Structure 1
Amino acid sequence: MIHPFHIHGAQFKIISRNGEEPPKNERGWKDTISVDPDETVKIAVQFDHKGVYMFHCHILEHEDNGMMGQVKVE
């Protein structure tokens, strides 16, 4: 199942998918991306302010089962 990955309050760019350059339509700033099972996606995040930012899968059952976390920016 595909996971719609989202970061609250920040934007990011996809650096690579499974070590490969992303397609042209994925090279702009994003706040949500689709991630396939067993896929590795490397991103560069732009945080404009210090604080705690939440990230999670947008499928509620996945989020409820642990596909969420926080990043603390100091």
Structure 2
Amino acid sequence: MDDLILTPNIDGADDFYAELLATHEGLDKADSDALNARLVLVLANHIGNRAILTQALAAAALKEEV
């Protein structure tokens, strides 16, 4: 895989979103931000492809809905 996938690609996307929100439930802003940072690093490690990660950083920096 050489290109970042920006089209919907998550099985059960709504369920995942609900799970993500539930994981943040009860956390203050600092703890929620720390959870997000850990999640980004875990997923980046799983992806493992630096070119894809660079594309993901650029896409996220656009501040547009992906």
Between Structure 1 and Structure 2, the one with more helix by share is 2
TM value normalised by structure 2: 0.28
Richer in strand (by share): 1
TM-score with structure 1 length normalisation? Answer: 0.27
